[in-house]
A and B are shown apart, each in its own frame.
Chain A
Amino acid sequence: MSSASQADRVDAAASGAALRLDHVTKSYGAKTALDDVSLSVPDDAYVTLLGASGAGKTVLLRTIAGFESLDRGAIVLKGKSLDGVAAHRRGIGFVFQNFALFPHLNVFENVAFGPRNADGRGRHDRTIETKVQTIIDLVGLGGLETRDVSAISGGQRQRVALARTLVSEPQLVLLDEPLGALDANLRTRMCGELRRIRERLGITFLHVTGSETEALAMGDRVIVLDEGHIAQVDRPDRVYARPRDARVARFLNCYNLIDGRLARGGFEAEGRLLPCAQVGPADAEVYALRQDLITVSAGAPGGSPEGPRLPATFMASEYSGPAVTSFFRLESGRIVTVEDHLGHREPRTYDQGSSYDLVWNVEDALILPRRASDGA
């Protein structure tokens, strides 16, 4: 499998794989949720799993955790097959999207639930209390032990959920959209916190998210999941700069994708031949241009005759603080988005309805297949 071998190559430098999935397949009736998923997750790393809603992220996570059985394939954790191993014996912790805290217990009791109730016993002893206290301090909840979980903030609840999982010393922690329930400000802070806590423990976190910025910011490694199959596994900067196919590029939300086809001497799209520096795969059908790598030229016909350019009409722009996003209409009616980062470029104003030329470096354009075939 290419995705697996790709991951193996990337991980070759790191220590061995913590988790390996081989040809994992799972269907619900006629719907295939996971289609022959193979991947390996490195040890002692923060891995993000990025996918649109319905891409199968949660199913994949729940399958790894042992909440769902798989139809075919194998899951191997630290060299041991998890086939038939119950969820709580896998050494895998799970942090739920909505935290799933026990509403009638306080912070300490929530964290202590695992050690106290595991294996059918109801234990209350000093060693458990010390261990729970250590974890509570680690996640920064010291002083809130006796608070009701309904009386603490969202970020603190997130920490309780994490501490409750960490206290049973898992080798791998699965986090299902852990920041989804937090507001934007808190999300940024929790990102750093999660990374810090993981580094202290030296275990692997597999963090599922639907947000491309979160996936890129958090992960040592990013796995892109698309309609139940692995679309790409790579370092965040490489996923961002070199998406493997048009679907990944679309998902990153920062590419303009122009349909066309490869032709001699370039790429045929929008009724003209666009030059390209790289030799794309033979089945390439999409010309991908990153939104922040396009320059708008005032349409002076002189300009630089070399290099690719497309005439376009300015429609509207949106101001978002550090950047301005402008929308242009190509002759074919396709909308192209251009992002100007205000720190780097002078803010420019365009006249609505006027014509401009969109210019870019030929090296920045990517030629992508619509969807990377697994053999490619």
Chain B
Amino acid sequence: MTAIGDAQAAASATAPAGKRALTPYWLIAPGVVWMVFFLVLPILMMVYVSFWTQTTFRIEPILTTKSWQTFFASDTYIGALWTTIRIWLVVLAATFLIGYPTALFVGLFVRNKTVATALLVLCVIPFWTSFLIRVLAWRPMLGKEGAINDLLMGLHLTAQPIDALLFTELSVVIGMTQIYCVFMVGPIAFMLGRIDPNIIEAAQDLGASFWRIFRTIIFPLSLPGVVVGAIFVSVMVLGEFATAAALSGRKVNLLGNIIVTQVGSLKWAFAAVAGVVLTLIMGLVVAGLLRLVDLRREL
């Protein structure tokens, strides 16, 4: 009986199997086509163009490494590279330090899902204003006669306005942290919200203090959220140029700003070199972060 049943099942499965096995791939066909034409090919093109010959007003498809040599010999470009990495690390740390406690509150201590969702929506409020307004709004806030300096002086905490607040690296870090913090909070809060409250109760019942429970249970279980959040923040900060331009008064040059300037002055090969370097850094950062946790276990 069973043998016959199995054989029939197998027969009915094999006949259209070849055709059926391919059917699901049609689902990703539009996505793949889109990505190949508008992502993979342009990236390859960018790598290719970075080896073209650049003269003052022209670019010719004659292969050379001159743009690469110029890039790595120039203090401006190397400086921009280090500034980018420095600002990325500082913003990453700041979004983590501000975002993790927030996520801990939303994901772990607010057990009402509606309230938790409402709080996460609050984090997204900065995105209700346009990017430009959001960045420019920092100026009356951080400026010499801005709100913060007025307040500090009004309270007699400082005698003179602090001018380090605006048009410095600090202001760029403040601006970026505010904008990108939510990308850190969201994934962490999501992971924390998935922790079974019984697990924490079990740990308490076994005599562990809150700090030990945090170190041994909560933090390790939230790590995938931290990594996903860090990837979001990293990718966005590394590719940033607008916040840096608007809040540093063009004093802080990130690789993104270099690319904008080079494209503006039609130096396509240099822009391509900076683009390839930036893409490589992002790839390394994402690969490194993914090594920290096994995201497959969370899917």
Contacts and interface: CB of A to CB of B under 8 A. Distances in A.
Contact of B205 (A87, A102, A103): A87
Contact of B206 (A67, A103, A114, A120): A114
Interface residues of A, number: 25
Interface of A: 65, 67, 87-89, 93-94, 96-98, 100-104, 113-114, 117-120, 122, 164-165, 168
Given A88-B206, A104-B221, A168-B206, A117 B198 contact: no
Interface stretch (B2-10, B104-112, B207-215, B241-249): B207-215
A101 to B, nearest CB: 8
B199 A118 contact: no
A96 B196 CA distance: 11
Contacts of B203: 102, 113, 117
A97 B198 CA distance: 9
- In the A-B complex, the 4 residue pairs with the smallest Cβ-Cβ separation, listed nearest first, are A118-B207, A114-B206, A100-B198, A88-B207
B14 interface: no
Interface in B197-254: 198-199, 201-209, 211-213, 215-217, 220-221
5 contacts: A100-B196, A102-B202, A114-B207, A117-B208, A117-B216
Given A96-B198, A98-B196, A120-B211, A88 B204 contact: yes
A88 B204 CA distance: 7
Contacts of A65: 205
A100 B207 contact: no
A87 B206 CA distance: 9
B196 A168 contact: no
A36 B235 CA distance: 60
A256 B220 CA distance: 54
B221 A103 contact: yes
Contacts of B208: 88, 113-114, 117-118, 120
A196 to B, nearest CB: 24
Contacts of B207: 88-89, 114, 117-119, 168
Given A113-B216, A117-B212, A93 B205 contact: yes
Nearest to A66: B205
Interface in B273-293: none
Contact of B204 (A87, A93, A101, A103): A87
B205 A94 contact: yes
A100 B212 contact: no
A168 B209 CA distance: 15
Contacts of A119: 207, 209
Contacts of A168: 206-207
Contacts of B206: 88, 113-114, 117-118, 164-165, 168
Contacts of A117: 203, 206-209, 212-213, 216
Contacts of A165: 205-206
Most buried by A among B202, B209, B220: B202
